[in-house]
Structure 1
């Protein structure tokens, strides 16, 4: 038996079949394979190869969207509201005005010098008032905007990498933020305090997670940077811990769970639940982890997406602690 077979002499189609399985399991496996010899480097760093991998791993619809459609579609800047006027005085006032959770979320936790969140909020209310604007918008991306997603790459290096390779890594990269790495806002009617989330070691996960304590009303927020156009489910991984069994005369309306997702250019998600959300999920899952889907957002242009959750747990008669592992954007067709 010859143990010195030169595997690089295998036909390209056979290597394609092998790489199809590697592409589903780990992108790093494909990169490591390309480093083994000159032939495989040339094979793997070709547009046709990455186009094939995207088709086989993610299906025809996502391949069509990300390889062709978004680069052929354009949006009217007027419909995008790109030049929306920002108002610095309103931003300063929003530190005290607590009318809307979205306002608190996007502005009380943003730097006063960062007006992008404010502009996104203005678009959100404009789009909501005129839903026909969404009908005029399409998922659109230019090569210049794609390059902004990779600011550390030189122009020469960017031009040398196949477009389909960028798209494959966008599809495979997990868009997830651990709750312990999110921004935490502790607020009261007059002042706000910023600090990292309180953490708790969870034996089920063998790791630390964010603890939403009954002692204050917290909001957790994060900004997903430079998200490509597409449709995204927004998921959070949670666990409820009951700390009180006193149900008599308890008003579940004092328990709130609010969450929001606000793309710069896209459809916002803003949903609120009362105490029955806690009760139903606890009865269903007990002290086990469960995934809560916030909804699906459509992003039309390269955007930052502001996401946040707020828990009001009832200060006088707390019922639950909440553990949060992560928030994730999941690409869907």
Structure 2
């Protein structure tokens, strides 16, 4: 039996078990498979349903493109809202943009976008203007997203590609940022906010077991305050995302004497250490994990479980996005006097239903 004689259902079933690269290679083997894979929307819709389940299939094939756009009023994004939030930001002294961890994390030194997003979320939670906020995306926004992402494709090129193939590719692609590509959050900078480079170069180190052979070591004390790292995922589509950090724990014996010295002064120092993670979307909600869970007990139990040689994935929570958004995030460690360290490999977003 020739491949041209096989019904489409058989070919669909066969391709269901192939990787994305294998599917593309299969499409180049003959005209029948090329037409089936490259020109048939139903083929990609079926793959989305088979690989991601009915809920995500419904969301990304139908709902987000059919839902009406949310009003700026509902999201606290009117021009009046923005002016109000920007005025509030200008009340901070320039040096405080670095001295306040949240303002530093949101890049308020460079622009007010993150600060506006933060205040919008606070207002949505405390005084919602509507209970009906949808996940929505126009096809034009989706095409523009790919134009900005690829740089080499034109609108004409994209018009030749199945919309559902582009959706499938978005769903399977990795959404990951490496620790070495992020920025440091230094609470201490010069009085007038000059010479504040936010560089983490000196805290990068080689680790052959990390994903790229390099990672970032996080620590803090009162003489050299490395408060954490920050970063931003750009242009994330509407949906619910689980935030996962790949980390490793270490006890730096070089600072054990210093740590013990501080413990002698105040015995409570021994169990004071804590971490804090925060993320927000500029058209969505936020995700927070504080020192009540990322604390001394968390560190010690994971250190016993994983030691100082094994990486592990720590789930920080979920974040909900209503419209095409950037996601700001930051991770900090404090009060561990350089003794208890966290090595940071990467952070990634996983689409969940």
Q: TM-score, normalised by structure 1?
A: 0.86
Find 2:331's aligned residue among 306, 309, 332: 309
Cα pair distance change 1:58/1:82, threshold 3 Å:
same
Cα offsets for 1:6-41 (capped at 9, x unmatched): 65654432221221011xxx3222222222332222
Post-superposition offset of 1:96: 2.4
Q: Provide the C-alpha distance between the structure 2 equivalents of 1:220 and 1:95, rounded to a whole number of angstroms.
A: 20
Q: 1:106, 1:118 within 8 Å by CA — same for their partners in 2?
A: yes
Match of 1:209 among 207, 210, 215: 215
Q: Which moved more, 1:276-285 or 1:217-226?
A: 276-285
Residue in 2 that maps onto 1:199: 204
Structure having the higher strand fraction is: 1
- Separation in 2, partners of 1:94, 1:7: 71
Count how many residue pairs are aligned between Structure 1 and Structure 2: 320
Q: How many Å apart are 1:68 and its aligned residue?
A: 0.6
Number of the residue aligned with 1:165: 165
Stretch deviating more after TM superposition (81-90 or 288-297): 81-90
Does structure 1 residue 183 correspond to structure 2 residue 183? yes
Q: Secondary structure at the match of 1:107?
A: coil
Unaligned runs of 5+ in 1: none
Deviation at 1:212, TM superposition (A): 1.8
Q: Structure 1 stretch 226-235 or stretch 35-44: which is displaced more?
A: 35-44
Q: Deviations over 1:204-249 (max 9, x none)?
A: 3472212224553232112111111100111101111012564662
1:77 to 60, 72, 95: 72
- Give the Å deviation of 1:76: 2.5
Aligned equivalents of 1:161 and 1:115: distance in 2? Answer: 37
CA–CA separation in structure 2 for the residues paired with 1:223 and 1:137:
24
CA drift at 1:125 = 1.9
Task: Give the counterpart of 2:62 among 56, 63, 68.
Answer: 68
Q: CA deviation at 1:146?
A: 1.0
2:101 and 2:187 in contact (8 A); partners too = no
Partner residue, 2:289: 271
The 8 Å contact of residues 219 and 334 in structure 2, kept in 1 or not, is answered as no
Supply the distance in 1 between the matched residues of 2:133 and 2:240 (Cα, whole angstroms).
13
Aligned to 2:306: 285
2:13 corresponds to: 17
8 Å Cα contact 2:99-2:188 kept in structure 1: no
Residues of 1 paired with 2:65 and 2:10: CA distance?
31
Task: Give 2:125's match in structure 1, choosing from 117, 125, 128.
Answer: 128
Aligned 8 A contact 1:91 1:107 in 2 = no
Of the three residues 293, 296, 306, the one matched with 2:318 is: 296
Deviation for aligned residue 1:94? 5.9
TM-score with structure 2 length normalisation? 0.82
Q: Is the 8 A contact 1:95 1:104 kept in 2?
A: no
Residue 328 of structure 1 deviates from its aligned partner by 0.6
Q: Which residue of 2 aligns with 1:236?
A: 245
**1:247-270 CA-partner distances (Å, limit 9, x unpaired):** 662425642311111101111113
> Distance in 2 between the 1:280 and 1:127 partners?
37
Stretches of structure 2 lacking an aligned partner (at least 5 in a row): none
Query: 2-side partners of 1:252 and 1:171: how far apart?
Result: 44
Alignment partner, residue 224 of structure 1: 233
1: CA distance, partners of 2:4 / 2:276: 55
The residue aligned with 2:95 is: 96
Q: Which residue of 2 aligns with 1:143?
A: 139
**2: CA distance, partners of 1:58 / 1:169:** 12
